[in-house]
Amino acid sequence: MDDRPIGLFDSGFGGLTVARAVIDLLPAEHLVYIGDTGRYPYGPRPLEQVRRFAAQITAKLVAEHRVKMIVVACNTAAAAGVEPVAGVPVISVIEPGVRAALRASESGRVGVIGTVGTISSGAYQGSFACADPVGRVQLTCAACPGFVEFVERGETDSDQVYVLAERLLAPVVEAKVDTLLLGCTHYPFLARTISDVVGRDVVLVSSADETAFELRALLAESGLARGTPGAGHHTWISSGDVSTFRRLGRRLLGPEIGVVEGWEPAPA
């Protein structure tokens, strides 16, 4: 039994898809969520810089919030590499997403979409190769620059995002995938548009639920689950405008977002 909170972070609002799944599956756990909205998007940045941002955030979660586990709710940060701090275990969204996509695909034709940083890092290509050593999967990867910015503006269903999606998703449509892995935690907020463009028979896989299940298993295995009945406490932190985070965050995640604390990271 361990009363310490779980830390989650993302460049902004995307990780809220993972936070939602964690709150639903593990309602008794305390959470601390950091949205680095002051420095989003991470996708076009050099991976080395994203790694430094992630290191700053994990250090803060461990030193100031004494988290017992860290969930990297950002594919780009996970692709850049996040080191454990002071022995606190770190889990990411990439491997759980790959597992869920492999389970969902019948034809073996799988698409992955993500930020430029994630797709060009080869993290998904490597993770599929490990999880599917016999090579059953025919993988089509496409970077989707611009999607994250639409979500951060709260524009999840406009004509402009539809036109962009038609252009960026053309390679996965052409490859006739039966499963599309949303390899960026912002993209589930665009699921209706994406589904409209790729065809509603294509299964969209978000890594959020699978990551929450992995977290639950890990907490149980390591004896770190809170194990106390009653709802956990949630702390929300943003490096950008806190009132925007609260307003848009409540729309995207729900009423659990109450007070939002500000944070000004040192230049990294």
**CA-CA distance, 228 to 245, in Å (whole number)?**
30
9 binds ligand DGL (CB under 6 A): no
Which of 60, 186 has the CB closer to ligand DGL?
186
193 binds ligand DGL (CB under 6 A): no
Which of 80, 225 has the CB closer to ligand DGL?
80
115 binds ligand DGL (CB under 6 A): yes
184 is catalytic: yes
Find the binder of ligand DGL among 7, 43, 96, 249 (CB under 6 A): 43
75 binds ligand DGL (CB under 6 A): yes
Structure tokens at 250: 């409540």
Question: Could you tell me how many residues of this chain bind ligand DGL (CB under 6 A)?
Answer: 17
185 binds ligand DGL (CB under 6 A): yes
Shortest distance in whole angstroms from residue 19 CB to ligand DGL = 12
184 binds ligand DGL (CB under 6 A): yes
Segment near ligand DGL (CB under 6 A); pick from 1-9, 19-27, 71-79, 260-268: 71-79
Catalytic residue, candidates 74, 130, 141, 144: 74
Which of 112, 197 has the CB closer to ligand DGL?
112
74 is catalytic: yes
Shortest distance in whole angstroms from residue 14 CB to ligand DGL = 3
Q: What positions carry a catalytic annotation? A: 74, 184
